[in-house]
């Protein structure tokens, strides 16, 4: 899936010369937590978000430093803090140096970028022009559209066992020699030994995601790999 398949194409933007009050009204009315900022030519130059309004003189939340510390901080830093807490124009408050993603990039690249930079939304561009925005809510909508639907088609136990086993065989993390499966009336019993509870959880997820599985019964035993001590007994 590409970024263009999940992004929101109708993007609300705000100009650098707009007032911060205009930005606040737009964000609150439209329930946006952030807005792309453009200059007079429509070029993307920054983002303004809820976080940019946390330190404001009107709220008496601007940064206050002990007098002795002001002698250690650079005048440039103190000046910037003052500007952010008192500015009236969007261009004076916004965060510049915006992280963007191309609309033809794989969606996985966008997610990795959002994780790496700890950001909730990505402006999407094509040939340098803003064409959309990708937010976490867009990813949720994309997931809903891509999530597998349960099917009512009849599947024999033999076919189901073959399908589940094939999926197990494709995963490198599965301790293949230690795991066995049994299927009866769509109920899958997982038996064997794992050395990590995360492997147990993943095995259950893998099996329950297969179409036709009615229920998963976990009979796995977890042992500590170095000592061989049983950490969790198999369920009856």
Sheet containing 44-49: give its strands across: 14-15, 34-38, 44-49
CA-nearest of 221, 216, 214 to 235 is 221
Q: What's the predicted TM-score (pTM) here?
A: 0.66
Spatial distance between the Cα atoms of 140 and 105, rounded to a whole number of angstroms: 18
Helix runs in 47-128, H state only:
67-70, 75-86, 90-93, 107-117
Q: Which residues contact 43 (CB under 8 A, 6 or more apart)?
A: 128
Pair 37, 91: CB distance under 8 Å: yes
Which single residue is written with the structure tokens 């261009």?
Answer: 91
Cα–Cα nearest to 7, from 109, 151, 156: 109
d(CA 220, CA 47): 50
The domain spans of the chain are: 3-146, 157-232
Per-residue model confidence as pLDDT tens for the chain (236 residues):
999 999 999 888 999 999 999 999 999 998 888 899 998 888 899 999 888 888 888 878 787 878 777 777 788 877 877 888 888 899 989 988 889 999 999 999 999 999 999 988 899 999 878 899 999 889 988 888 876 666 545 789 999 999 999 999 999 999 999 999 999 999 999 999 999 999 999 999 999 988 889 999 999 999 998 888 888 887 76
Q: For 157-232, give the CATH class.
A: alpha beta
Domain spanning 3-146: which superfamily?
CBS-domain (3.10.580.10)
CB 181 within 8 A of CB 189: yes
């Amino acid at each position: 899936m590409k970024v263009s398949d999940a992004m929101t194409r109708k993007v609300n933007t705000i100009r650098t010369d707009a007032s911060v009050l205009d930005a606040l009204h737009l964000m609150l009315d439209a329930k946006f937590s952030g807005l792309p900022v453009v200059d007079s030519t429509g070029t993307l130059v920054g983002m303004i978000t809820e976080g940019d309004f946390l330190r404001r003189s009107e709220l008496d939340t601007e940064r206050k430093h002990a007098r002795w510390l002001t002698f250690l901080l650079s005048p440039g830093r103190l000046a910037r803090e003052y500007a952010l807490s008192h500015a009236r124009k969007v261009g004076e408050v916004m965060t510049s140096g915006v992280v963007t993603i191309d609309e033809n990039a794989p969606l996985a690249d966008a997610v990795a970028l959002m994780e790496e930079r700890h950001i909730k939304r990505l402006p999407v561009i094509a040939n340098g022009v803003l064409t959309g925005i990708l937010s976490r809510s867009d990813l949720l909508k994309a997931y809903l559209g891509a999530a597998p639907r349960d099917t009512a088609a009849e599947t024999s136990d033999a076919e189901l066992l073959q399908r589940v086993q094939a999926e197990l065989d494709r995963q490198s993390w599965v301790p293949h020699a230690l795991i066995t499966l049994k299927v009866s009336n769509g109920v899958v019993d997982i038996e064997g030994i794992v050395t990590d509870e995360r492997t147990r959880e993943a095995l259950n997820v893998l099996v329950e995601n297969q179409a036709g599985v009615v229920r998963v019964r976990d009979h796995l035993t977890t042992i500590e790999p170095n000592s061989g001590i049983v950490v969790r007994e198999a369920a009856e």
